[in-house]
Amino acid sequence: MLEIVCLNGDFAMPVDSRPVGQLRNIGPTVARRLMEIGVRTRHDLKEVGPATAYVHMSANSPGKHLPVCYYLYSLEGALKDLHWNDVPEETKRRLVSQAELSMAIPPT
């Protein structure tokens, strides 16, 4: 479902407000973990980005390994409406690099 959001009463743009649980690749566990970090809609996921969402979900689940293919690639696939395995290899490498860099930088 698309909502129209008005900014300053002048400009309207469509926002995809579909709940994350309705997106491709996103099952109940991933949807719950996304909601735990405040990502509730496709728009939220797009704003945060797959790598940042993955890093936050990982930080929110200490002691648990969140498999890259089931989480990071699935989040990208959800935004692109692709099966996680169909995400291009170059994109997968970029996402892993972004996530690794974010995890290596201590929070301020």
**pLDDT tens-digit series, residues 61-82:** 888 888 887 799 999 999 999 9
What percentage of the chain reaches a pLDDT higher than 70?
82
Would you say 76 and 17 are in contact if contact means Cβ atoms under 8 Å apart?
no
pLDDT score of 65: 83
Distance CA 20, CA 78 (A): 8
* Least confident window among 27-36, 44-53, 63-72: 63-72
As a whole number, mean pLDDT of residues 44-56 equals: 95
**pLDDT tens-digit series, residues 3-17:** 545 555 555 446 689
Q: What are phi and psi of 11, to 5 degrees?
A: -125, 135
